[in-house]
């Protein structure tokens, strides 16, 4: 199953990347994420692991994300292995006077879950779009509030 979404944010690339690259900000903008904690501390970079607690449709769970790619002001790649194997990325690119953030992800559905691939893909893309709209609102509100 593959999903992707993007949004334009009226803020500079370095500011958007800094916010997105701080993976502990995920609960602020990603729907369903309750907490995100860097395992072992330190700055985010290749090899960093982040423990994510989430809740979706009444189900709670934990997963661990590993950063596999980190190019400042450009891209963060990651993979997960439990409870679902997958990988994804956040791409942050200049777009006129602002920034385009694109999120993509791919997970391996197994067993009976694989039968719901098309439906699940649409649901995930809808959640990605909601999350990106929250990200846009947070970062563009920072401009107007001066913070």
| pLDDT per residue as tens, the chain (147 positions) | 678 899 999 999 999 999 999 999 999 999 989 999 999 988 999 999 999 999 877 788 899 999 999 999 999 999 997 767 889 999 999 999 999 999 999 877 665 555 455 566 677 678 889 999 999 999 999 755 555
The arrangement of strands across the sheet holding 2-9 comes to 2-9, 98-107, 86-95, 75-80, 59-71, 49-56, 33-38
> Which domains are present in the chain?
2-145 (3.30.530.20)
Measured distance CA(15)–CA(35) in Å, rounded: 22
């Amino acid at each position: 199953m593959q999903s992707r979404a993007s949004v334009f944010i009226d803020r500079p690339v370095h500011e958007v990347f800094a916010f997105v690259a701080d993976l502990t900000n995920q609960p602020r903008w990603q729907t369903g994420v309750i907490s995100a904690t860097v395992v072992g501390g330190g700055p985010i970079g290749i090899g960093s692991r982040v423990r994510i607690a989430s809740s979706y449709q009444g189900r709670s769970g934990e997963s661990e994300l590993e950063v596999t790619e980190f190019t400042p002001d450009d891209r963060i790649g990651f993979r997960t292995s439990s409870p679902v194997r997958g990988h994804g990325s956040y791409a942050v690119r200049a777009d006129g006077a602002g920034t385009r953030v694109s999120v993509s992800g791919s997970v391996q559905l197994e067993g009976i879950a694989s039968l719901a691939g098309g439906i699940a893909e649409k649901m995930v893309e809808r959640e990605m779009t909601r999350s990106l709209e929250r990200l846009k609102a947070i970062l563009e509100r920072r401009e107007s509030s001066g913070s």
